[in-house]
Amino acid sequence: MPKGSLYFDSVYHPLEKAESPEALKNYDWESHKVGDEYVSSLRGRAEHPRVSLYTSSAREVFTSGVRA
């Protein structure tokens, strides 16, 4: 976590220390591959995002009125 911050800074570039073309050739590219099933699930989630609870609640209020 960066000093004085309220979050964990977990982002880094995996090739930040590569200093030559050979380092790129020797890099373990296979370790970053994802399966077709995972990609398909991401596609489905992007095409059909879930409606948040707040949106559902607002829709209920506008369609059925405010209940006391």
pLDDT of residue 37: 92
pLDDT of residue 33: 86
Q: Check: CB of residue 10 under 8 Å from CB of residue 18.
A: no
3-state class of 31 per DSSP?
helix
Mean pLDDT by 10 residues, the chain (68 residues): 66 85 91 88 81 56 58
